[in-house]
Amino acid sequence: MTSAGRFAPSPSGELHVGNLRTAILAWLFARSTGRDFLLRVDDLDRARAGAEAGQLRDLQAVGVGWDAAVVRQTDRAALYAEAIGRLTDAGLTYECFCTRREIQDAPSAPHAPQGAYPGTCRRLDAAELEIRRASRPAAVRLRSEAGEWTVQDRLHGPFTGVVDDFVLRRNDGVTAYNLAVVVDDAEQGIDQVVRGDDLLSSTLRQAYLASLLGLPVPEYAHVPLVVNHDGARLAKRDGAVTLADLAAVGLSAEAVRDLILGSLGLPDGPLDNALAAFDPAGIPRVPWVWQGAGRARH
């Protein structure tokens, strides 16, 4: 199978400048290392009508193309069920009936990160399980034995943290992102994952899960985000940040592309021009502060 990189947006709305910058970086990483570049729509949750088509159109407008048909997670339920079944057969899952509020209010284990699952349902006996099953549907959690796990990242180096008993399938039957993305990346031959550095901590869970399933762990590169003037991750509420909004104030898709490339120290023009000058070691390590069209700075 050919090795590949990818971009995998959730179709919850329009892509903004930050999303497009990450997509361009993922494309540059893949192309500069001789990989194919794939597009997957992570639509298990929060899909909005028309969002996918708009996202694909915007990616093409800034020059990001892909090498195979678009894949959608909602078409892949059988793959996820098979993976969860393998883990269950190995004794590595259990049913969980906790609400978010119960998890939030439960005391955390020492040294566990905020929001880590405290293991409330891990040791329920058969009688307790029957009582819980009568009250609410169960989620499926991984029975983690990892303690700490370490991943290597191209930009951050070794990154270590706690891996808790995270959810594999929610109590509404929807496969959790951490399971789906591991299965998808392996099945598609994706061995390079470039995404925003706000997702670095979740990489520990995904790499650990891949090891349990006997799947390869991709090469990771978590890139800095685009943020607003307050240092918060860029969002629609920050004004003209999508291609449609920026076009309304006179900025073309090509101009947005060039602004993004400039923020990376790369030349203007088609992405092939940037590819010739691209060096991962030269990527800025700090967020790009977006202060409006044409006024972004590091």
Which segments are annotated as binding site for L-glutamate? Answer: 6-10, 42, 177, 195
Terminal CA-to-CA distance of the chain, rounded, Å? 39
Residues in the annotated binding site: 6-10, 42, 96, 98, 117, 121, 177, 195, 236
CA-to-CA distance for 273 and 270, rounded, in angstroms? Answer: 6
Unique residue bearing structure tokens 């009250």: 135
Backbone angles phi, psi at 151, to 5 degrees: -120, 155
Phi and psi based region of residue 293 (left: phi greater than 0; alpha: psi -120 to 50; beta: remaining) = beta
241, 234 contact by CB (below 8 A)? yes
Q: Is 216 helix (H, G, I), strand (E, B) or coil?
A: coil
Residues in the annotated binding site for ATP: 236
CA-to-CA distance for 175 and 45, rounded, in angstroms? Answer: 9
How far are the Cα atoms of 76, 79, 229 from residue 217, in angstroms, in the given order? Answer: 20, 18, 36
Residues in the annotated binding site for Zn(2+): 96, 98, 117, 121
